[in-house]
Amino acid sequence: MDRKLVLIGAGSSMFTQGLVADLLRNPGRFKWHLALVDTDPQALDSIAKLCRKMIDAKQGDIQLTFSIDRRDVLPGADYVVCMIGVGGRRAWEQDVFIPRKYGVYQPVGDTAMPGGISRAMRMIPAMVDIVEDVKKDCPNAYFFNYSNPMTIICRALHKATGFPVIGLCHGVHDSERHVAEFAGLDRSKFTATSVGLNHLTFMYDFRYEGQDAKALLRQKYEAVVQAGIDYKNMGVLFREMGEESPTIANPYSWTFFEQYGTYLAPGDRHIVEFFPERFPEGKYYGKQFGIDAFSFEQAIAYGDRIYDRMDELGQSPDPLPADFFEKLSGEHEQLIEIIDSIENDQRRIYSVNMMNNGAVPNLPPDAVIELPGAATARGFSALQILDFPANLAQLLAKPLAIAELTVDAALHGDRQLFVEAILLGGYLNDRGAVASMVDELIQVQKQYLPQF
């Protein structure tokens, strides 16, 4: 039995390498056809050559094809995965650097704040075109999105195309591991219920071996606080060899546990962008967002190094290094596990981004939310979450409203809605300054903004 998996934006090198490694480890009962798509010929050539080396090194039974035109490979696809980044890291830099000129400091700038809103303007038209092609060429395929801003993109795709879209992100999965390790608990026996928006997900109802574990977490948290928290190492993306780790990572996310009994996934670097009013002038425990707290420049440089290494490995005539697979941890969004659960109706539970449709009654039914979903032979089924705390649901009202404004601005090329989305976020309260920022963002990225 054959299955076809199409990766659109395959030049997203770390994800593609990890996914191929996962597929080689666990092909299931299928013979796989892996089709790579990227509009950058150089990136596509390099990742295709690297994937070929990986398959050959493991003697994998995987057919590999690639094209710069997705219409060449979409027909017959069973699974389509999209991980594009319109404009790449150079456009992403402008999403962060231009708002900085107006005093808006962002640690990430791909989900919320002006950077996330600007990114959505580039991403949504391209994503809509991709899904329309999927509807024509492989209408029965499962479509998974990995691109940010996740919530906004998935909502736009539902609104514009009506095609079922599932968004996947490793944030909740990683945060469950972080919380378990913080408390000294066996990760395999630890669970939590998680509901919210992508990069703003509330973990609650903590369980260890099936029993309520909130008291255990609170005891550990209070002990750390009582011992004293050293904030000097907060917000460090890449620690030097031997550099001391902070006594508690993600202190702001843990304050929600203290106040509400919930931990915020995926941690401070993303979470803080949803609460700009709580960090005046972008200050984070004495540091500056995007500068010495979660340095944006370091993150971009890291992405550039990863790409350069992929290019080097792909283009080199030499075989892969002996420790290549050992160093490659696999992609973290569990896609191959999810496919296995769908194909074999295992009904395993994953954190997914999908239409609410009443699964969480105190959130809007047409909102795209992150919640537990079962991967079944009929697709994903959201779990009913009837106990999501009302006070947490209320905290999602504003980001959901910003998302809706952003979606409409991107779909219709509405500059005024672009401005209103930023104003509603409270990142900058001077309408004239926001309008100037929006005009500058549109001007510098106009090649990626056909709707404006």
pLDDT per position as a tens digit, 310-327 = 999 999 999 999 999 887
Distance between CA 128 and CA 436 in Å, rounded?
28
Tally of CB atoms within 10 A around 209: 10
pLDDT at 236: 79
pLDDT at 382: 97
Distance between CA 23 and CA 337 in Å, rounded?
9
Domains of the chain: 1-451 (3.90.1820.10)
pLDDT at 241: 41
Q: What is the 3-state secondary structure (H, E, C) of the chain?
A: CEEEEEEECCCCHHHHHHHHHHHHHCCCCCEEEEEEECCCHHHHHHHHHHHHHHHHHCCCCEEEEEECCHHHCCCCCCEEEECCCCCHHHHHHHHHHHHHHCCCCCCCCCCCHHHHHHHHHHHHHHHHHHHHHHHHHCCCCEEEECCCCHHHHHHHHHHHHCCCCEECCCHHHHHHHHHHHHCCCCHHHEEEEEEEECCEEEEEEEEECCEECHHHHHHHHHHHHHHCCCHHHCCCCCCCCCCCCCCCCCHHHHHHHHHHCCEEECCHHHHHHHCHHHCHHHEECCEEECCCECCHHHHHHHHHHHHHHHHHHHHCCCCCCCCHHHHCCCCCCCHHHHHHHHHCCCCEEEEEEEECCCCCCCCCCCCEEEEEEEEECCEEEECCCCCCCHHHHHHCHHHHHHHHHHHHHHHHCCHHHHHHHHHHHCCCCCHHHHHHHHHHHHHHCHHHCCCC
Ranges of the chain with pLDDT below 70:
13, 238-247, 329-333
Distance between CA 191 and CA 187 in Å, rounded?
8
pLDDT at 246: 63
pLDDT at 242: 44
pLDDT at 239: 54
Cβ contact 98:395 at 8 Å:
no
CA distances from 224 to 190, 215, 284, 377 (A): 20, 14, 20, 45
